[in-house]
Each structure stands twice: as structure tokens, then as C-alpha cells.
Structure 1
Amino acid sequence: MTACLIIVCGLPGSGKTTHSRRLAAQRRGVRLCPDEWMSALDVNLWDSAMRDRVEGLQWSLAQDMLRAGVTVVIEWGTWSRAERDTLRSGARALGASVELVYLDVPVYELWRRIQARDHEDPPITRADLDAWSRVFERPDEAEARLYDA
């Protein structure tokens, strides 16, 4: 069994959870989603300090699984190039292959999906989404070439 880290990148509403679940099932991997852990712990999804702690725990677990040859699907959004670079280099240091799945969805469609699912508490506003879209660092072709096919 060859270890593989799959980084699923995108804004809220882009389909990360749906896509990640499908990938984990197809590749017989383990999916790590901080929103689910935080909800299970009854923690506010917008608590950034707790999110950092949960993602730190998930990354530690992911590294153990990669060492064991498991496919790991990280569903964090990974909005910054630096965050994706850290994950990629960390997984490669363990001998794992690394794939990037970028879900590029127009903001108007993200907003439609977020309104339809209506499950965030507190709710995401259109202003939040517009602001996040401006700070999100979209992977470009040069970055995409750094990943395995």
C-alpha cells in the first residue's frame, strides 16, 4: 500500500465534503474534516484557536497514517499557498505522494449552495463569502505542477 495525501482545496460551498467523501471511498482512505470534529465536540465552527488545535491533531494523525501507508484526504479548505506547501512537504518527507484537488466554483454558486444547505451556526453571510473570496489564494498552474497526478 502506497501512502498518499490528498489535499482538497476550496471555499465553503465548493463541494469539499461531497468530493472528499467520494475520494475516501474510492481510494479506501481516511477523510479528516475539522468541521465534523468541532461539531462533535460542540465547539463553535468559527473558533479559530480551536480550529487550529483540531487541524493540528488531524495533521498529527494524518502523518501517522501516511507512515502506515494509508491514503489520507485532508478537507480543510487550505486557503493559503503556504498551508498547502507545508502539508505537501510534510507528506513528501514521509515518502507519500501528494495530490491537490482544487474545487473552483464561482462565488454566486457558492452563495446559492450555502443558502440551500443552511447549516452553519452562526450563518455565513454574503459579505463573509465575498471577503473570503478576496483572501483565498487560488492554486495556479505553477503550484499545480508541484503535485502528483
Structure 2
Amino acid sequence: MDGRRSRLVLLCGLPGAGKTTVAKKLERELCAVRLCPDEWLTELGFSLFDSEARDRVERRLWQHAQDLLASGAVVILENGFWQRPERDEKRLRARALGAGVELRYLKVPMAELERRIALRNREPGSVVLTTELLGECWSQFEAPTPAELDLFDPPLSWTTRGERPSQPLRGEPPRT
């Protein structure tokens, strides 16, 4: 590594919030390793709705993320992190490894999520997500509070060479 401190970036948001888009941009800008459970599930031939397979993949990716953090890497996890206990667990474990930890909360209104999901549903080969299922996701989601966001490090907004990115990073939580 180049002497920089390892860092864990958690992307928090519902389906359609833009987690993968933000993660891919950060992957390039931060020279990070991006770990996306949905991509792994799809590549391994599992349904995105297979909760047992999802649990196994997410546990394995978390172990891999910890190994990468211990070696000094920047790691992006785009699990969604819908519940505070999971966010707390990842933050505390990464800090125990000496890593910085940031939470990127992608807050998107329901109407916009529905619009994005409808567009995604029209793409060939996409997994169809119904409005009803999106509503269920919304009801299970525990948005981070300002107090919780303060427990995380401020987002990195520069490349590894110290240059400013050409565009402001999207998906950063508003800091009050």
C-alpha cells in the first residue's frame, strides 16, 4: 500500500437509491475494492431474493473486507445497511482493525425510487422489483439519524494522489 490508512465505506440506501452508481465512482476515485452482494449472487446463479444465499455471500464478503482492511485497503460495501445494528457492527469492527469508516447515506424519496425501479425493470435481464416489494423494503428501513452519522468519519473526497475529483461526489450525507 502507499501508506494511507485503510478505510471502510458503507453505502446505505434502498433499492434504486444509486448505491452501485456511487460505489463504482468511488471505486475509481479512491482506488478501492468494491464488494457488491447483488453482483455476487447473480454471478453465482442465486436469486437476489434467496435470503439464505444472501446471508452466506454477505458474511463471506465481510470476511474478505476485513482481510483487505487489515492489509491497508480501501473497501466499499454496498449491502444497503438498512438497520443500525448492522452499521454499528461494521463500524466498530473496522475501527478495531485500525480503519477509518464512513457511511454514505443515499436518501431518495419514495416517488423517485419508484421511478428508478420502473426504469430498471424495463432493462433486459433485470430482476423485477414490484412497487409492493419496494414498499416492504421502505417499511423495514431504519434511516441513519444525524447523531449516528456523526459516529462515522467524514467522506473522503479526493483521489489517492491528493487531487480533487472533477465532479462532486454524489450520495454524501448532508452534514448539519
TM-score, normalized by length of structure 2?
0.82
Residues 58 and 43 (structure 1), Cα distance of their counterparts in 2 relative to 1, 3 Å cut:
same
Give structure 2 stretches of 5+ with no counterpart. 155-176
Match of 1:10 among 6, 10, 13: 13
Match of 1:133 among 131, 134, 138: 138
Q: 3-state SS of the aligned residue for 2:69?
A: helix
Partner residue, 1:28: 31
Match of 1:70 in 2: 73
Superposed counterparts of 1:53-132, under 5 Å: 53-118=56-121, 120-121=126-127, 123-132=128-137
Determine the C-alpha separation between the residues in 1 that align with 2:46 and 2:97: 32
Q: Secondary structure at the match of 1:31?
A: strand
Aligned-CA RMSD value: 0.8
SS of residue in 2 equivalent to 1:146: coil
Matched residues in 1 for 2:136 and 2:58: separation? 22
Distance across 2 between alignment mates of 1:59 and 1:103: 21
C-alpha distance in structure 2 between counterparts of 1:101 and 1:117, whole Å = 22
**Secondary structure of the equivalent of 1:82?**
helix
Alpha-carbon distance, 1:120 to partner: 4.1
Which whole-Å CA distance do the structure 1 matches of 2:126 and 2:132 have between them?
15
5+ unaligned residues in a row in structure 1: which ranges? none
Deviations 1:53-79 (A, max 9, x none): 000010000000000000000000000
> Which amino acid letter does the alignment assign opposite residue 134 of structure 1?
S
* Map of 2:167 onto structure 1: none
Structure 2 CA distance, aligned partners of 1:64 and 1:108? 39
* Identity level (%): 48
Flag the structure with higher helix content. Answer: 1
| DSSP 3-state at the match of 2:114 | helix
Q: Is 2:77 the counterpart of 1:40?
A: no
Name the count of aligned residue pairs.
Answer: 148
> Does residue 142 of structure 1 match 2:147?
yes
2:101 aligned counterpart, secondary structure: strand
TM-score by length of 1: 0.97
